[in-house]
Structure 1
Amino acid sequence: MKSVAVIVGSAFTEELHADLELSHQEIITPWGKQELYQITNLHRPAYLLFRHGIPHQILPNQINYRAQARALKEVNCGALMVTSSVGILDAKLPLYSPLLVTDLIMLENRLPDGSTCTMFVTPEAQQGHLVLNEGLFSKTLTQQVYNLAPDLISSMEKEVIFAYVGGPRGKTAAENRMWYQLGASVNSMTLAPEVVLANELEIPCVGLVVGHKYSLPGKETSEDHQGVKESLVNSRSSMEKIIIEFLKKASEVPFKNQIFRFADK
């Protein structure tokens, strides 16, 4: 049986849920060490990855995205949920209500250090081109997550386009206007590299986000320090139940994209 995993962000700590028993693991990868937390009291293998560490100490530009992806592959992940607290650019989308991501805008396919966002850095037998037959977000897994908690997730009828904007600084009003004009519904400093790299390792992904502020031009939410902390707490409470349901009940799905390898005969 393949495992399931969830990547959680700034809104979460190891006290995600009192009923979950977490066991800390260190996975050694060619890209360095990565911490995972296995949930030991479920009937199936399930993992949490805290992208900012415990306690929160890793900024978005400091995340070792390749080590993350490889560690999830090492634990045989067959279904990955990537979460994020986001700024909302579409006035029709509500705050603090979980949304399923349908597509991604990542203008430059690069990691924060400037290198290409790929697992295929040096020539190797398994390298290839990621061909998006289905898109970066698995439609089958996205539907599965919606079915787990239809009363908690906003309607799937509306597209939610995620724009990746590398941190650690916030976006200017002019930048938010640009993202909105490009068709983005929400934006954040993470999620995109994780989804791209997981797909290169043939791990199906679903994106679950929640708006903790409006970044909509003319409706920007105040970003004082206390306001940011409070908004993250509010976003956590609305996502926690879905994450728990996913860890308990989600199942692996077929990978419908393709790694096109010239070496394949």
Structure 2
Amino acid sequence: MTLAFIGGTGLTRMDNLQVQDRLQISTQWGAPSAPVVQGELASRPVLFLARHGDPHVLLPHQVNYRANMAALKEAGASAVIAVNAVGGISAHARSGVIVSPDQLIDYSWGRDMTFFDDRSGPVTHVDFSWPFDAALRARLAAALDACGADWVNGGCYGVTQGPRLETAAEIQRMERDGCDIVGMTGMPEAVLARELGLPYAMLSLVVNPAAGKSDTEITMAEIEAVIAAGMGQVCAVLAALVASD
């Protein structure tokens, strides 16, 4: 199995990845956000793609998700782990905690959501009842435990459009809907992976309380501090995951 990692905010590059090549892949849906990096992690071959570009220049709604997923598939990925920086809604989703969600609700709009929009092809629908692969999540759970991570097993990821952060009223609505964390990149990434037959799971680092969940204003300085502290552990978990294969 060749694992592919998609790095989000705070993970444009993996310091523990031994880079061997950078693949410039062109797809029928355009160019991916960045070259697909071929390398070794824990002495095993892996792929890495910076979701927002390298350097980080693409806003969530500007990412060419179809090109990204198609490029990883073409490069030989057999499963995908996506890393996200998210806001915490539920009480257990505190800043610095890693969440491995098992559900999502999509509030985004206007994004290219499918590979099956060619009118000359068959009308295709994929089952998306459980958006994250159970076997891959089980492997992630073992790696998180092995690293002693502070993490939450399961939860609902709410996908918003961005690039602005949410209002307190929007977060209240999402909490009523059952969302535990909020981010901007989980869709259409997850469903595109499903259409390609790629097992897909997430490591979501909570970097701030969502709007209205604290008494202070959300600042980028606070978010960046949590990212700096947490992404090192995320990389360690990914290495442990690869080593267990």
Q: Which runs of 5+ in 2 are unaligned?
A: none
Which residue pairs with 2:106 in the alignment?
106
Q: Distance in 1 between matches of 2:65 and 2:83?
A: 14
Shift of 1:176: 0.9
Q: CA deviation at 1:212?
A: 0.5
- 1:51 alignment partner in structure 2: 51
Contact 1:164-1:192 at 8 Å conserved across structures: yes
Structure 1 SS opposite 2:117 = coil
CA distance in 1 between counterparts of 2:165 and 2:138 reads: 32
Checking the alignment, whether the CA contact within 8 Å between 1:104 and 1:164 is kept in structure 2 is yes
Q: 2:29 aligns with which of 22, 27, 31?
A: 31
The question of whether the paired residues in 2 share the 8 Å contact of 1:146 and 1:153 is answered with no
Q: Which residue of 1 aligns with 2:6?
A: 7
- Residue in 1 aligned with 2:88? 88
TM superposition shift of 1:196: 1.0
Please, what is the CA RMSD of the aligned residues? 2.2
In the TM superposition, residue 169 of structure 1 has moved relative to its aligned partner by 0.8
Match of 2:240 in 1: 245
* Partner-residue secondary structure (3-state), 1:187: strand
- 1:194 matched to 2:189? The reply is yes
The answer on whether the counterparts of 2:85 and 2:183 sit within 8 Å (CA) in structure 1 is yes
Q: State how far apart, in whole Å, the 1-side matches of 2:140 and 2:41 are.
A: 21
- The amino acid that maps onto 2:137 is T
Give SS of 2:92's match. Answer: coil
User: 2: distance between equivalents of 1:203 and 1:217?
Assistant: 36
Q: Displacement, 1:170?
A: 0.8
SS across alignment from 1:132: coil
Q: 1:178 to 1:37 in 2, by over 3 A?
A: same
TM superposition score normalised by structure 1: 0.83
Residue in structure 2 matched with residue 152 of structure 1 by the alignment: 149
Distance of aligned partners of 1:124 and 1:248 in 2 relative to their CA distance in 1, 3 Å threshold: farther
Where does structure 1 lack aligned partners over 5 or more consecutive residues?
A: 251-265
- Give 1:203's aligned residue: 198
| Alignment deviations for residues 144-194 of structure 1 (CA, whole Å, 9 cap, x no partner) | 1111231225253xx310000011111111111111111100001112211
1:51-109 deviation line (CA, Å, top 9, x unaligned): 0111111111110011011111112321110110100000123321211111000146x
CA offset at residue 117 of structure 1?
A: 0.9
Moved more, 171-180 or 39-48: 39-48
Q: Aligned partner of 1:176: which letter?
A: I
Is the Cα contact below 8 Å between 1:82 and 1:205 reproduced in 2?
yes
SS in 2 for 1:162: strand
Deviation at 1:234, TM superposition (A): 2.5
Q: Could you tell me how far 1:28 is from its partner in structure 2?
A: 0.8
Partner of 1:234: 229
C-alpha distance in structure 2 between counterparts of 1:174 and 1:25, whole Å: 43
User: Is the deviation greater in 240-249 or in 36-45?
Assistant: 36-45
> Would the aligned equivalents of 1:100 and 1:153 in 2 still touch at CA under 8 Å?
no
The aligned counterpart of 1:212 is 207
Query: What is the aligned length?
Result: 241
Aligned to 1:256: none
SS at match of 2:126: strand
Contact 1:96–1:238 (CA under 8 A) maintained in structure 2: no
Aligned with 1:171 (options 157, 166, 173): 166
Q: Is the 8 A contact 1:3 1:45 kept in 2?
A: yes
